[in-house]
A and B are shown apart, each in its own frame.
Chain A
Amino acid sequence: MTVTAPTSEVVFDVRNVTLRFGGVTSLNDVSLQMRRGEILAVIGPNGAGKTSLFNSLTGVYTPQEGSIMLAARRGDSPTSVVGMKTHRVNQLGVARTFQNIRLFPALTALENVKVGVETRQRSGPIAAMLGMPWQRREERESNSRAYELMKRVGLSGRANDIASSLAYGEQRRLEIARALGTNPGVILLDEPAAGTNPVEKRELASLIKSINAEDDVSVLLIEHDMKLVMSVADRIVVLNFGEKIAEGTPEQIQRDPVVIAAYLGTSAEQAESQADAQPELRLIDIEPEGEQS
């Protein structure tokens, strides 16, 4: 598959964002650009501000400084999302999943996806109470779209099960299906592989790639599993203590002494010399598959 972003169009343009909670600075002067159609991974140690970045991008948190411009779908003109309501950001084409799964546990799996699909529909309560033809049509459409998405993430056999009865990995995939239901231009995945087994991780990697390639959805990914990150990401941004410390292709990031230092907790110089001496200290050994540039 192609890796270099084919277009220079920007989805998220984050400039000098600073987010504080009282005296704690969660994000400090972070700037990054996410290009259309790419898979961008955000990595960093615990507490580095990855999820804070996600929440700032989706309107859950409002950063005190800086600007975030969004053009989620192809052809959108850039809009500022700072201070915008979460559901508005979602309607502009930003879907997300959560680090600790947040499904609607008492609804069936299918209904969870339908909730996502239906946020793009228009029929109101009166039409529903009267059973108007257009409302019925929308209901049918939502049904078939939801089934389609369930199939897409490999859950078509479990459509009528209560969401909370699904296995952990299935719940993660269901969350992705729900996010895709809102027809996003960009999807933010917060640790989608947490708590899944190696087989599920491989499936997840191919799912992410296919979402990116076939649905033309840009993917912003937070993940601790380096193997997964290195295998799917086009570019990687590294955060540490709320600051961006590196940005580049997986190859570059693996060799970056600052990143290694951040993960090992030593100074950059030490890390560099160590890395030269001991190649096995690289973040992870990946077999270069295909044409990794």
Chain B
Amino acid sequence: MTALETRTRPAPPAAPHRRGPRIPSWLTRLLACLGGSLVLALMIGDQEGSQTDYGLTFRKQILAPRVFAFLALGVLLFLCVSYWPRIKPYLTRPGFWPLISGGLAVLASITLMHWFDQAGNGKFGAVSDAVSRTSGISPIATAFYGWLAWTMLVVSVVVGGAAIVIGLRWLAFGVAALAVVAAVITYLAHQAVVDFTGQPDHSLGYLVSILGYIVILSGMLAAGLSHEASARSKHFVTRVLGFRPGLPLVIVGFVVTLLSFVGAAAWFSPSNKNTSLSETHDLFASTSINPFALNYLGWLSWVVFVGTLALAAAATWYRHRLLGWLAALAGAASTIITLVVLYDISKLGARTKFDGATGPWQNLGVGGWMACGGLFLLGSAGFVVATSARATRRVAAGTANGSLSGSPNGSGPNGVSATGSVAAADAAPATQPSPGRRAVGYLTAPGAARSAVLIAIAAALFYPPTATPFWQQVVVSEIGISMLLAAGLNVVVGWAGLLDLGFIAFYAIGSYTTAYFVGSLPVKPPSWLHMTPLLTIPFAIIACLMAGVILGAPTLRLRGDYLAIVTLGFGEIIHLAAVNSQSITNGAEGLTNDTGRHTKSVPNPSIHIGPLHIHWGLNQLQYWYLLLVFLVVVLLAFRRLEHSRLGRAWAAVREDEVAAQATGINTTKVKLAAFAIGASTSGVAGVFFASQIGTFTPDNFVLNNSILIVAYVVFGGMGSLPGALAGAAMLTWLPEFLKSQVPSSDRLMWIGAVVMLMMIFRPAGLIPARRRAAELSGLDGSSSSETRAVPAGEGL
């Protein structure tokens, strides 16, 4: 929808002095819309040209009704743009945007997402085919997968839109009721299918669909209840989130936990058997399971749940700090209890070699993890209450302080800044003593940013166990590692403003350092230095620090593009060195279990400290939690660094190097620090990579990967730590997601399209850095860092 908004800017008037026939602007607009829709129509579906018949694809597209649907969309877009002033007032009616975004969510879930993994490719179409072929399945499911799903979506969006445009309150309430019914039917139909087959299920399509209907519901309620002529959703969201900090977490936690307890969510799912909480209790009732776990499965879970919920709800409602801490404690305790029970039942299952299980944590269903996530969120709500109460008070003290030491009114000419700083101070970590900045974006309500972070943590902790093995592998070896790399490069590119196109070289150095110290390379370390992979981390960091300094020291007086080219060369040098030094790195073959050349794969990591023995084997989940530890340590450290003396010095160098020098900043030293810190993060990622994958070749460290990491950082938002992580996650998730959506040869084209659209409509990235957002929002166009590539001394 941003497309519409940006097009509203008045087009520059055609130059009056231009000769020749003038093409009317509406015609060019129409052609652009039609051309765009044609391209989109061609992008979708298989590309079927052959060497003898190049036009095959096009004829197929033309013959298919699809192309006409897309052309119609183009015309619709043209009409929207042309009659924008007339349409615009309707778009700001209360409830309109929720209706549209909810409808889009449902549409996406039906067209793109998995509904049931065991049926064909798992998507909605495949499931509905399977359901129509099966007899004896519940009529709700037959109807839903047959025609009801689409009908409900179209009816609710069209009628809801009409209700908003005409302003009929009763109709809006009707659509709200329909949305509730639709959400319930979606849930029942999905459960009916899963129950019918009894097979494990990892799909999320039904959840997103239900979420979409809930959004539609909220929109229609807003349309029915509100008396405003126009609504600003940003303010609305801020107000809802700010009503009671932590309340959204309580609601989400309550729903998730409840679903895991009462629904058909499987707690224990050996093949062809999904057992819900009570069924699991019956299953284990006659076994030798530890009585505590049995009680939990029977009734204790409910006591724990209700107790935590009551504490969290009370703390949130009364904004009581002590209650908040208690709720946080209860949440943590109940999560741990649930984990212990899960361990017990899966261990017993493994001991009886039930369904081929070899150890604990196997054959567990989605339900247990959902319960953990929900209880964790309830505890998080308490934490948010406890900490945001403190944050509010601290800011109040800060303002009082400001007004004592300054002008009569601390907020003076800009009242915005006062409210903004409350939110910003809250969004900032508690360790950040500097007062907040002007807040930008949705999450300005107190506690909202923290809630978002806690939801992300809950998802990071408890979602991966419920995913399919394929996605677990993606999460570890794609998403996790690139997040670590992006966090490192963000220091160099985002904070210090140095474009580094050879970042992958440090990753290579980290990997090869590990391989050396564990004795996997043709060159062996002295025997007393032989160590396990995790112990090589400090050595990898030192090696990368040194490499960073060696690269940086002679080249950092270069600026911008010139530095980028030098780093590019450095990346290539490292890659070629790895390829060519046969006797050291085993050349292009890389690490193999090759006894002739005395290479072997890097062993998997393990820890043996006192009674603690952990060995990372083939289970991807284990690696995920190890990676999570790395990530958390790096993030906490970088978060502090960003708001420290060095972080500000980086910003100063990035903004204006001459002024930074004149202010007494040793720019070379500061830039070197950025290079070294970024490089060592990359080195840690290299250690992890080497010990997880075992064998690798120099081709893992080519230029392409360096550029991808830069893309992650830019896509996510340069200089924003959450942005860099989100960008890395998004851009590594997208190719994997597209595997099941588009023909494999089209995949890169789609990714390219997404990146292009993103950069056009949201140049500051997914989660822009506050500083950068301020720059790009036009407060000061001329002085953004891109437009000031002035060499030292010039223009002084």
Contacts and interface: CB of A to CB of B under 8 A. Distances in A.
Interface of A: 51, 55, 58, 60-61, 85-87, 90-91, 95-96, 98-100, 102-108, 110-111, 114-116, 118-121, 123-125, 128-131, 135-136, 138-140, 142-143, 147-148, 150-151, 156-162, 164-165, 178-179, 181-182
Contacts of B195: none
A114 B434 CA distance: 10
A272 to B, nearest CB: 36
Contact of A106 (B658, B659, B771, B796): B771
B655 A91 contact: no
B2 interface: no
A61 B775 contact: no
Given A87-B661, A102-B659, A124-B646, A164 B796 contact: no
A106 B719 CA distance: 12
A83 B577 CA distance: 39
A165 B779 contact: yes
What 6 A-B pairs have minimum CB-CB distances, sorted nearest first?
A156-B406, A164-B780, A157-B412, A128-B644, A119-B664, A90-B664
Interface string B1-43: 0000000000000000000000000000000000000000000
Interface string B428-443: 0001011111100000
Contact of A128 (B409, B640, B662): B640
A151 B433 contact: no
A181 B648 CA distance: 14
Contacts of B433: 136, 139-140, 143
Interface string B644-678: 11111101100110111111111100000100010
A179 B779 contact: no
A95 B664 CA distance: 8
Nearest to B418: A160
12 contacts: A58-B662, A103-B659, A104-B659, A105-B784, A107-B652, A118-B649, A125-B644, A129-B638, A131-B640, A135-B645, A139-B434, A162-B774
A90 B413 CA distance: 34
A129 B637 contact: yes
A100 B795 contact: yes
Contact of B662 (A90, A125, A136): A90
Given A99-B796, A102-B658, A115-B649, A178 B405 contact: no
B772 interface: yes
B779 A162 contact: yes
B610 interface: no
A125 B664 contact: no
B125 interface: no
B774 A91 contact: no
A104 B652 contact: yes
B417 interface: yes
Nearest to B772: A106
Contact of A182 (B663, B666, B796): B663
Given A61-B793, A107-B771, A157-B407, A182 B637 contact: no
Contacts of B645: 118, 121, 123, 128, 135, 138-139, 142
B134 interface: no
B772 to A, nearest CB: 7
Nearest to B658: A102
A86 B661 contact: yes
Contacts of B638: 129
B565 to A, nearest CB: 25
A157 B434 contact: no
B410 interface: yes
Contacts of A130: 637, 640
A194 B485 CA distance: 46
Interface in B670-710: 673, 677
A138 B643 CA distance: 13
Interface residues of B, number: 59
Interface string B770-782: 0110110001100
Interface string B501-519: 0000000000000000000
B402 interface: yes
A125 B646 contact: yes
Interface in B605-641: 637-638, 640-641
Contact of A165 (B409, B420, B640, B780): B780
Nearest to A154: B407
A128 B649 CA distance: 13
A87 B666 contact: yes
A254 B355 CA distance: 102
Contacts of B412: 157-158
Nearest to A93: B664
A161 B438 contact: yes
Contacts of B779: 162, 164-165
Given A143-B433, A159-B402, A129 B641 contact: yes
Contact of B434 (A61, A110, A123): A110
Interface of B: 402, 405-407, 409-414, 417, 420-421, 431, 433-438, 637-638, 640-641, 644-649, 651-652, 655-656, 658-667, 673, 677, 771-772, 774-775, 779-780, 783-785, 792-793, 795-796
Given A119-B664, A179-B663, A106 B774 contact: yes
Nearest to B651: A107
A157 B112 CA distance: 52
B663 A162 contact: no
Contacts of A120: 664
A156 B402 CA distance: 7
Contacts of A108: 437-438
Contacts of A100: 795
B644 A157 contact: no
Given A118-B648, A148-B405, 11 more contacts: A60-B796, A87-B666, A103-B659, A106-B651, A107-B655, A116-B664, A118-B649, A120-B664, A123-B645, A143-B434, A161-B417
A94 B526 CA distance: 53
B178 to A, nearest CB: 47
Contacts of A160: 417, 420-421, 435-438
B434 A106 contact: no
A147 to B, nearest CB: 6
B405 A86 contact: no
Contacts of A106: 651, 655, 771-772, 774-775, 784-785
A129 B640 contact: yes
Nearest to B411: A157
Nearest to A124: B646
Contacts of B784: 105-106
A83 B658 CA distance: 16
B665 A105 contact: no
Nearest to B771: A106
Contacts of B434: 110-111, 114, 139, 143
A178 B663 contact: yes
B793 A60 contact: yes
Contacts of B407: 156-157
A147 B648 CA distance: 16
B771 A115 contact: no
Contacts of A87: 661-662, 664-667
Contacts of B651: 104, 106-107, 111, 115
Contacts of A104: 651-652, 655-656, 659-660
A115 B644 contact: no
Contacts of A164: 774-775, 779-780, 783
Nearest to B644: A128
Contact of B673 (A107, A118, A125, A150): A125
B556 to A, nearest CB: 13
Nearest to A107: B651
A90 B663 contact: yes
Nearest to A55: B796
Contacts of A150: 406
A81 B206 CA distance: 72
Given A61-B793, A156-B405, A160-B421, A111 B648 contact: yes
- Most interface-central of A95, A104, A130, A135 (chain B CB within 10 A): A104
Contacts of A96: 662
Contacts of B666: 85, 87
